[in-house]
Chains A and B, each alone.
Chain A
Amino acid sequence: MKAKRPVFLELWRIKLPAMGLASILHRVSGVLMVLAIPLGAHLLHQSLASPQGFAATAATLSAWPMRLLLLGLTWALLHHIFAGIRYLALDFNLGLEREAARRSAQVVIGGAVAVLVLGVLL
């Protein structure tokens, strides 16, 4: 099976359909959140340990690099939840037709961004 087969991996020229984009973003967002688990555990521990710890956590969370990170993680959580709900629906054979699946993937991708923007504006 070592026959030469054509390989096309020019990522910038491959157009991923919405379903594929929602899928890879589901992965990326999941990995991002896994990497943030130690930070989350640390912040939870620190904020609960003492009034000084709470103040330190509040200060950390309002610093702008952390705000940016928090914004990214909030997007990750929103996309992961919306895409997860879509996968559960697909598991129950809901929305399996190509057009419905494409539409729901677009709703997932757009919905996560929309809710994030709404949260920032409010």
Chain B
Amino acid sequence: MSRSASGLKAWLLQRVSAVYLALFCTWLGLHLFLAPPADHAQWAAWVARPWVSLSFMVAIVLLLAHAWVGIRDVLMDYVKPLGFRVGAMAAFGLVLLASGLWAMQALLAVGMR
């Protein structure tokens, strides 16, 4: 990841993912704010719609990438000792990956039902 997400590529990835995430978060936020799901059946049915599921999955992948590039930049700026920096990056990487898999699994399970 650090190799493929370095320099110009990371810069571009951060901006492309930002545009998608801004649109996705606005849409999801407005949906939850204006029409909050009343119960589990309604919520699961909405998320299970193919286009909703797909946009969630794309958002999760892009969010992980965006969060990784962002947190990596912050760590490189403020954490100077190499050991701490690598340790913190590994910890964030693991937590982000685990969170992504956990969320992905929830979406797949609701789609399979």
Contacts and interface: CB of A to CB of B under 8 A. Distances in A.
Verify that A and B bind, or say they do not. yes
Interface of A: 27, 30-31, 33-34, 37-38, 40-42, 44-45, 47-51, 53-55, 74, 77, 81, 84-85, 88, 91, 119
Interface string B99-113: 110110111011000
Contacts of A85: 22
A37 B105 CA distance: 15
A49 B107 CA distance: 9
Given A54-B39, A77-B29, 5 more contacts: A30-B67, A34-B96, A45-B102, A49-B109, A81-B26
Main secondary structure of the interface of B (DSSP, over half): helix
Interface residues of B, number: 32
Interface of B: 15, 18-19, 22, 25-26, 29, 33, 39-41, 43-44, 47, 63, 67, 70-71, 74, 92, 95-96, 98-100, 102-103, 105-107, 109-110
B106 A37 contact: no
Contact of A47 (B19, B43, B96): B43
A85 B25 CA distance: 14
A37 B40 contact: no
B99 A31 contact: no
Main secondary structure of the interface of A (DSSP, over half): helix
A31 B110 contact: no
A66 to B, nearest CB: 15
